[in-house]
Amino acid sequence: MRLLHTMLRVGDLDRSIQFYTEVLDMHVMSKTDYTSGKFTLVFIGYGSEDSDTVLELTHNWEQSSYDLGEAYGHVAIAVDDIYATVEKMKSQGVDVVREPGPMKFGGDVVIAFIKDPDGYMIELIERH
């Protein structure tokens, strides 16, 4: 068994694709319109769907926003230089919720949090 994907519902598909490809450097693996169901699925990530866990962006054509609820946590992404990464993201207008710094109660692990255009939290974790 392996984890295949995490699905996020998005209000503006083009805006979300732009965020995940331009800000987080992911690539679109597939995009399929389901006209009878009035929704589009986009699979996006860093590797191949065959071997890597990816994100599924679901866009329901007749809905432009969602309540995120209080159960959702975050998606975590490893980065090499968290300080440079966050500075670049700020210059792209990304909402930085927590500046880079050591994780509370976690020793020397350096993290930051950003939000995607729909308000989903993304944790950046510095890995060398």
Tokens coding 41: 């699925």
- Catalytically annotated residue among 22, 56, 62, 123: 123
Q: How far apart are CA 42 and CA 85, in angstroms?
A: 25
Paired with 60 in beta bridges are: 39
Which residues have CB under 8 Å from 70's CB, separation 6+? none
Tell me, yes or no, if 87 is annotated catalytic.
no
Q: Which residues are catalytic?
A: 123
